[in-house]
Structure 1
Amino acid sequence: MKNPWNRHTYVQSFENLRNERLAEPMKAYMKHHFPFLGIKSPERTEALKAFFAIHELPGKTELLNEVWEIYRLPEREYQYVAIALLSKKLKSLAVDDLGFLEKLITEKSWWDSVDSIAPTIVGDIVKRDRLEGEKVMFQWSDSDNMWLNRAAILHQLKYKKETNEKILIEIILKHVHSNEFFIQKAIGWVLREYAKTNPAFVRKFVEEYELKPLCKREALKHIK
């Protein structure tokens, strides 16, 4: 029988792994936006796996509160933990929870957290309710928040043959002239990924629309 969920036990287990020597280069890699505990990815994954193995996950009513409390902790590893916890309960999430995911995307925003949330968690929710989920993606694509724009662009990243090409085009074209590096990279990334499924579509898209050099280069990266 598993132990009850206990966030404080988990936090203590991570504190025991704190490594100030490693924390500084990790912080530098993320442009000094966040403090770090200094736990490398393999050790963090192993500690998380061990904790999940012996503790019950919180139920849906507690889940979002627990995720938010962990996400708000200062060190960057805790944002990764919060996202991992949310991913463990992915099938319990629905379109109504996209508002909560918006809060995560716009809090402590950087590419690592947004890219862990948008193509997997957000993408899965939208795929299960395309009508209502796509309405939210259009709202995000119209937002003044660049990270919500990036999330909207990337939500179909893993859809492959289930990609809604019309929506892909509409959302990309809203931002195709953006000077934001992270927006151009997102457009290039989603096109590059979809080119693995439908290279003809991506080649035609690049020919028809004027893309910035970074985006165009990324989109055509693996197309001969």
Structure 2
Amino acid sequence: MTGFLNRLQSVFQENASAQNAGAMQKYMKDNFPFLGIKTDLRRALLKQVWQEHKHEVSQHPRELAKQLYALTQREYHYCAIEILIKELKKKYRKEDVVLIEFLIVTHSWWDSVDVLAKYILGDYLKQYPDETHVVIQRFSASENMWLNRSAILFQLGYKKTTDMHILFSECLKHKHSKEFFIQKAIGWALREYGKTNPEAVRNFVNEAGLKPLSKREALKNL
């Protein structure tokens, strides 16, 4: 099971750009090294290699995601996430929550965690709704800020199926956090739900005593 990974690394190395890499690393606060492959090209190259090794990817998405996450450059982490979003949709296993947690707490930054929260954790819990309270309670109680953020954001794509009580409970639980990424997440999650239920969000924000950043973000479009 090395054909896909070897081919992807080869193609990515051929298209690496030191100039782009410097700018991309700076944008991400120098948290990760980059190959310097911009998003559109990276996705095109991934699609090409994915097609060449379609069977391998479809049979081993979880293993490949872990192998990609073991690599240093950030582009490989993006590829891992994109593979899982497509290959695991409506085909999650209950134990995949372990993999999801691993991805959230590994190489953590907003660019990966936000996609994982919305498209992977969110889809996983749609498939296993009975797991929602247990998983979200555990993530929310964690000392890992990125798990907390994921617990706030996982319903971003839920719209009318949003569990308002979970959303508001998570916002209240973390409203005193001094972490920028938590304050921002609260505002973002509320703003998104406000597109579906503006009155409920407005009433909640007026009564919740949120931090100024959270309140401002929540009410931005209301």
Sort the TM-score into its range (normalised by shorter chain).
over 0.9
Give the equivalent residue in structure 2 for 1:70.
68
Q: Distance in 2 between matches of 1:86 and 1:39?
A: 20
Q: How far apart are the structure 2 equivalents of 1:199 and 1:173?
A: 18
> SS in structure 1 opposite 2:195?
coil
Cα distance between partner residues in 1 of 2:53 and 2:98: 27
Matched with 1:109 is 108
Q: Which residue does the alignment assign to 1:193?
A: 192
Q: Deviations over 1:145-196 (max 9, x none)?
A: 0000001100001100000011111111110110000001100000000100
1:161-200 pair list within 5 angstroms: 161-200=160-199
For residue 20 of structure 2, what is the aligned residue in structure 1? 22
The code of the aligned residue for 1:11 comes to Q
Residues 95 and 126, structure 1, Cα contact 8 Å, conserved in 2: no
- The match for 1:89 is 87
Counterpart amino acid of residue 68 in structure 1? K
TM-score w.r.t. structure 1 length? 0.94
Deviation, structure 1 residue 124: 0.6
Q: Work out the number of aligned pairs and report it.
A: 220
Please say if 1:42 is aligned against 2:68. no
Q: 2:50–2:57: 8 Å Cα contact kept in structure 1?
A: no
Q: Which structure 2 segments of 5+ residues have no match?
A: none
Q: What RMSD in Å do the two structures reach over aligned CA positions? A: 1.5
Q: 1:100 is matched with which residue?
A: 99
Does the aligned pair in 2 maintain the 1:160–1:197 contact within 8 Å?
yes
Equivalent position amino acid for 2:167 in 1: L
2:94 and 2:128 in contact (8 A); partners too:
yes
Q: Please say if residues 113 and 150 of structure 2, whose CA atoms lie closer than 8 Å, have aligned partners that are also in contact.
A: yes
Q: CA separation in 2, counterparts of 1:9 and 1:75?
A: 16
CA distance in 1, matches of 2:56, 2:169: 38
Moved more, 59-68 or 146-155: 59-68
Alpha-carbon distance in structure 1 between the residues aligned to 2:16 and 2:127: 39
Of stretches 183-192 and 53-62 in structure 1, the one that deviates more from structure 2 is: 53-62
Post-superposition CA distance 1:102-151 (Å, at most 9, x none): 01111111000101100111101101221113311110000000000001
**Distance in 2, Cα, partners of 1:47 & 1:62:** 19
**8 Å contact from structure 1 (residues 125, 133) kept in 2:** no
Structure-2-length-normalised TM-score:
0.95
Amino acid at match of 1:74: T
Matched residue type, 2:162 = T
CA offset at residue 60 of structure 1? 6.9
Task: Name the SS of the counterpart of 1:70 in structure 2.
Answer: helix
Q: Secondary structure at the match of 1:201?
A: helix
Name the counterpart of 2:126: 127
Checking the alignment, whether the CA contact within 8 Å between 2:156 and 2:189 is kept in structure 1 is yes
